[in-house]
Structure 1
């Protein structure tokens, strides 16, 4: 494959020059090659570094993470896009009917002295793209060097066939063609497939939509200059490529249009074409340039590109309407090359500071992400057992810190618990009542006593009926705390064991079992608490103190039992219920916290360490394939970003 014309990096650049050629013929060929593009002696020497820095960043694959300043060429099929690129680069790109460009083609043109002509074509095979291997690694790419310009088309076609399949399909995978010659301009741009409206034989029905999605992916980015190729002999308002550019760049700030095929324009419509190129029809901030490239007849007649360039200039010089465009620098490939180079360099200068900041931010984020999945288990059994021990110990440390309120992952556990406890306290206070109907209750529950005698059973019955209503809200508090605790425990599990699904599932199961068991114990204790409250008891000094506060009167033990009157029952009921509320407000949160948090953490820590007894270490430390893939992707991203940071630091 690609055997013809290949030279290794150590092969001399003259490898494909016929050794039998005489010196005059060789010099003639060199002169011809040096003339290709014919636009470069005037370019400033300081533009190349700006283009090189972006080319280097793209070479390390940074476009996978960040958008880079670039020029993207789009156009409808048969718009003359290939002819424009051919005239700019001096090489014959693939031609034909239908979709010729089937993959994004990055064309890097480098004006280099001391080299006759040399090209390097690189791309990553589709299989490696699918596996997500690092784009910058030379081990993961096809690379072909050659010194014969006539081989370009064949190499590009074969690369497209490998990436997009033989036929008429398209691919998002990038092909890079680097052309080095004294006779090319310093410029990098990306050619995209021509926009198709009707599928050809063998093409999927949605080929047009596929191409548009690919184009939009490139042109929507603010870092992209959109170079739209439009034939002069069609209505510009109906050009699909220009419509797409307007959708993503409605003000035309990033769009430059090239008007091709001016020789095919209908007589009498020249002024309309001038109105377009003078920005009077569809205004574009970067304007329009008209070019006349080789037509099919000139290609069939093997008219050289340098001769075609002279013919282009003669065409404009002799045209009644378009002659003025030469003076305005709005015509010829030469003017286009100058403008594109300057636009690209200005665009790069504008975005370099922002790009540098983005690289630094992405580098910081990537390092933090990598910490979460870095350092997988060792292969050595003894080292793996030690790794498991440390992993479980780190988990227990975090569980204990969580139960003490020292660990905060996703939200503050104790802040959420305090909110639950406050809601419980508010509910208790809302159930307080003045017991103003105590006289009626007393009559309903009166026993055999004569009037004037009190019945303690009445006092007990009223309080017991009121307190029992708190039991279900108390169990709601328990269930609420269980949910909050479970959520925070699972956060710790995900933080410590996210890479190990077996260990994670075992731990989650243990947590659920322990919490369920602890919930049963807590429910039993809550029931016991309410059975104790049925005893209707409080220390005398405590009861009298609360009664004095409620009745706004002074009661002491010396007066007993003189104030035992039914008129005081409502205050006495309120006093005891206040004591119940105060007990419940503290005791239930403390009781639930003991069972559902403190004891749960202790039991879980013991159970987790028990995994070390007879543990199948390799099973417990089995990693999900997604984790290893994520680690590999993050490392590749880190390498890309590190290389990009070094490149930008050296340049800026």
Structure 2
């Protein structure tokens, strides 16, 4: 098409306000940043059925000529980015790829220049045709389509990848719009199939579903309105018709006598749209080939609507909806108003999206370092530091020591429950059912009565005095009468020490399990975001090996402690043992005496010595009675210093006294040994397993990973190699952030 007479073509107008032009220019610059993939930017999308006159409408707006051929002309989106410039007219053609050659969506759209900038408008049509062929043949080199004699065949019918035209010049507006492939009416349509129908509809929907998209709905008057599905699609995404502008094309092809059926649309009486319906008449392909200028085309359009009924007979109020110039003016106004309304929202959306993108980047693992050995070593030392802190103990209810403490408490209770339950009574039905309270002197040193609000279970069955005596008699060899071998005490001691191995090993396994879970979580925290997980897997294996070795060492030490107890009784804490022997002997003997001589026992218990004799009301001393009388009588015959508790010694000797001594010996030794094992086993586990892991893990990690060996650099480089998914995500977020920040700077330039 000739350049002559093209003044005023398109949305550019000398009367356009500077503020409006500034906003249009800003939106165009925002489109140039690519931020429309992240933010909904105002845009015009031209949709319609195949051959509905869309391309002609685009040509009227942009002032360029698009490829025309029989059947489907537009097989991929053609995006026009218009920029006003004082420099000579220029058009840059680019290919924008959002999918690869296999149709898989790219993480980041790719842009390729397609040839040198065009300075002659007559070359645009051929360049666009070649660019479309390059899009539709994704497996072929792009440069082949810039050369003469290219193959017209295509690998795909339609594509979501698109052509981008960046047009600038003195007569160009600052605007972006896109010409979308025409909707295919049915499979029977030329070139149509089910896949193509769905693809084109999905592609068109992806544009017009955005709230800031102005929909230019083209309807060809040569076809029945009801048969053009583009209107239904527009109504689906803009049900209230607030952002749709209807455009009737090809009014000169309406069958004679049917013109009146289209007038209700122009009067907005049918299929009402907020911005109304328009009717335009564009030059035919033959007119363009013969060199018709845009000035001549507009003149013929004006003549058609001025002289051709019923268009010429419309009321003046509806005449403004006829002709391309009126459509362009209204379109410019609508788009400007939309831009003005959206700009403040765009600023907010940009800032929110920037913050979310930065947060997403921050949540990703750090990119691989140029010093992989140092990075891996640093991670290991940080991990060991955190592990040491956990092993030493942290003031937190979920700390490792806090987690294993209940298991230690259960172990102590299990050992305490093995205490021999001696009863200083003859076994009988009544004594079997009677309870026997623990001595009060244990309450101040053994906290074993409750745990988690529950009474402890008694593990040891009662051992009555007759059983003890029977065993003592059966154990005598060459001892003198009244003497019994120490083997009796040893046999009872061996019975409770033999029960200590099982709970000790259970404690070790429980601590090992808790430690494994704690360390596993710490490993995930420190290494899960590093590389492709190789370091985390290797560290996990090595740490598990280390913990297993330390657990075996702890179990071996526990076995030694238990074996020492099983070897026989031994203690150098003679005072402690003697004190307990005296206390338990008195406790057992007193209980037996209360059963054997209850009257005397109650009298002794009730007796309260007095330093002064009781006096009656006449001042005469009252003679003592009961225990006081006995003590007074004994004192009168010279036995002074006798106490009430000593009276039991006047009773005949108890034949069970040897058994009472054995019971006191065994029970006293249990107190010594139980406290020893209750401390030694947890201490062994802590030393060999818990703290042992902390002592030996770092050198084991260095050795096992091989980072200090001759292949250390290669190993660390492989471990630090980033996952393709993470790398792709980071690249996508970095590019997105660049787009967003560039767009934000563009807004800052205009003070938004």
Common topology (TM > 0.5):
yes
Alignment of 1:115-154 (within 5 A): 115=88, 117-123=89-95, 140-154=112-126
Task: Quote the residue 1:306 is aligned against.
Answer: 295
Q: Does the 8 Å contact 1:43/1:338 carry over to 2?
A: no
Is structure 2 residue 512 aligned with structure 1 residue 511? no
Task: Quote the residue 1:23 is aligned against.
Answer: none
What whole-Å deviation, never above 9, does each CA across 1:528-557 have from its counterpart, x for those lacking one?
Answer: 7888999999999999x9x9xxxxxxx966
Taking a change above 3 Å as real, the CA distance of residues 617 and 465 of structure 1, as seen in their structure-2 partners, is closer
Structure 1 residue 164, shift from structure 2 partner = 1.9
Structure 1 gaps of 5+ residues are 1-15, 17-28, 378-386, 548-554
Q: Does the 8 Å contact 2:25/2:174 carry over to 1?
A: no
What whole-Å deviation, never above 9, does each CA across 1:162-220 have from its counterpart, x for those lacking one?
Answer: 12214253333332223334545443201222223438888875122222333333333
Other structure's SS at 1:230 match: strand
Structure 1 residue 293, shift from structure 2 partner = 2.6
Taking a change above 3 Å as real, the CA distance of residues 584 and 48 of structure 1, as seen in their structure-2 partners, is farther
Inter-partner Cα distance in structure 1 for 2:574 and 2:119: 107
Q: Does the 8 Å contact 1:446/1:455 carry over to 2?
A: no
Task: Quote the residue 2:327 is aligned against.
Answer: 336
Q: Does the 8 Å contact 2:96/2:110 carry over to 1?
A: no
Task: Quote the residue 2:519 is aligned against.
Answer: 485
Task: Quote the residue 1:229 is aligned against.
Answer: 218
Other structure's SS at 1:617 match: helix
Inter-partner Cα distance in structure 1 for 2:569 and 2:48: 90
Alignment of 1:238-637 (within 5 A): 239-265=228-254, 273-276=262-265, 282-295=271-284, 298-299=287-288, 303-317=292-306, 318-320=308-310, 323-324=314-315, 327=318, 329-349=320-340, 350=342, 351-358=345-352, 360-361=354-355, 364-365=358-359, 368=362, 372-373=366-367, 376-377=369-370, 387-405=371-389, 415=398, 417=400, 420-421=403-404, 424=407, 429=451, 433=455, 435=457, 442=463, 449=470, 468=502, 475-476=509-510, 478-495=512-529, 497-498=530-531, 506-521=538-553, 559-562=586-589, 590=686, 594=690, 598-599=694-695, 601-604=697-700, 606-607=702-703, 611-622=707-718, 623-624=721-722, 626=724, 636-637=735-736
Other structure's SS at 1:99 match: coil
Other structure's SS at 2:707 match: helix
Task: Quote the residue 1:643 is aligned against.
Answer: 742
Structure 1 residue 131, shift from structure 2 partner = 12
Q: Does the 8 Å contact 1:39/1:337 carry over to 2?
A: no
Structure 1 residue 583, shift from structure 2 partner = 6.6
Task: Quote the residue 1:190 is aligned against.
Answer: 178
Taking a change above 3 Å as real, the CA distance of residues 615 and 292 of structure 1, as seen in their structure-2 partners, is same
Taking a change above 3 Å as real, the CA distance of residues 526 and 648 of structure 1, as seen in their structure-2 partners, is farther
Task: Quote the residue 2:205 is aligned against.
Answer: 216
Structure number with greater Rg is 2
Inter-partner Cα distance in structure 1 for 2:27 and 2:157: 29
Q: Does the 8 Å contact 1:325/1:331 carry over to 2?
A: no
Among candidates 170, 194, 201, match of residue 158 of structure 2:
170
Taking a change above 3 Å as real, the CA distance of residues 580 and 50 of structure 1, as seen in their structure-2 partners, is farther
Among candidates 45, 51, 60, match of residue 78 of structure 1:
51
Is structure 2 residue 7 aligned with structure 1 residue 34? yes
Which segment is superposed worse, 86-95 or 231-240?
Answer: 231-240
Task: Quote the residue 2:23 is aligned against.
Answer: 50
Taking a change above 3 Å as real, the CA distance of residues 208 and 436 of structure 1, as seen in their structure-2 partners, is same
Structure 1 residue 373, shift from structure 2 partner = 0.8
Q: Does the 8 Å contact 2:99/2:160 carry over to 1?
A: no
Task: Quote the residue 2:626 is aligned against.
Answer: none
Other structure's SS at 2:528 match: helix
Taking a change above 3 Å as real, the CA distance of residues 59 and 447 of structure 1, as seen in their structure-2 partners, is same
Task: Quote the residue 1:91 is aligned against.
Answer: 64
Taking a change above 3 Å as real, the CA distance of residues 338 and 591 of structure 1, as seen in their structure-2 partners, is farther
Taking a change above 3 Å as real, the CA distance of residues 281 and 269 of structure 1, as seen in their structure-2 partners, is same
Task: Quote the residue 2:642 is aligned against.
Answer: none
Question: How large is the Cα RMSD of the aligned pairs?
Answer: 5.3
Q: Does the 8 Å contact 1:233/1:264 carry over to 2?
A: yes
Task: Quote the residue 1:101 is aligned against.
Answer: 74
Inter-partner Cα distance in structure 2 for 1:594 and 1:271: 93
Other structure's SS at 2:366 match: helix
Q: Does the 8 Å contact 2:65/2:125 carry over to 1?
A: yes
Structure 1 residue 92, shift from structure 2 partner = 1.7
Inter-partner Cα distance in structure 2 for 1:232 and 1:426: 90
Inter-partner Cα distance in structure 2 for 1:250 and 1:585: 77
Inter-partner Cα distance in structure 1 for 2:335 and 2:188: 34
Which segment is superposed worse, 85-94 or 635-644?
Answer: 635-644
Other structure's SS at 1:144 match: coil
Structure 1 residue 127, shift from structure 2 partner = 11
Q: Does the 8 Å contact 2:92/2:166 carry over to 1?
A: yes
Q: Does the 8 Å contact 1:413/1:484 carry over to 2?
A: no
Other structure's SS at 2:117 match: strand
Structure 1 residue 237, shift from structure 2 partner = 5.8
Other structure's SS at 1:228 match: strand
Inter-partner Cα distance in structure 2 for 1:620 and 1:415: 33
What whole-Å deviation, never above 9, does each CA across 1:23-61 have from its counterpart, x for those lacking one?
Answer: xxxxxx654222534872332222233233333333333
Which segment is superposed worse, 624-633 or 334-343?
Answer: 624-633
Among candidates 159, 182, 200, match of residue 131 of structure 2:
159
Structure 1 residue 155, shift from structure 2 partner = 0.6
Which segment is superposed worse, 261-270 or 301-310?
Answer: 261-270
Using the size of structure 1 for normalisation, the TM-score is 0.71
Structure 1 residue 482, shift from structure 2 partner = 1.0
Q: Does the 8 Å contact 2:707/2:713 carry over to 1?
A: no
Q: Does the 8 Å contact 2:554/2:689 carry over to 1?
A: no
Inter-partner Cα distance in structure 1 for 2:11 and 2:30: 28
Structure 1 residue 621, shift from structure 2 partner = 1.0
Structure 1 residue 395, shift from structure 2 partner = 1.0
Using the size of structure 2 for normalisation, the TM-score is 0.63
Is structure 2 residue 42 aligned with structure 1 residue 69? yes
Inter-partner Cα distance in structure 1 for 2:682 and 2:269: 80
Taking a change above 3 Å as real, the CA distance of residues 396 and 111 of structure 1, as seen in their structure-2 partners, is closer
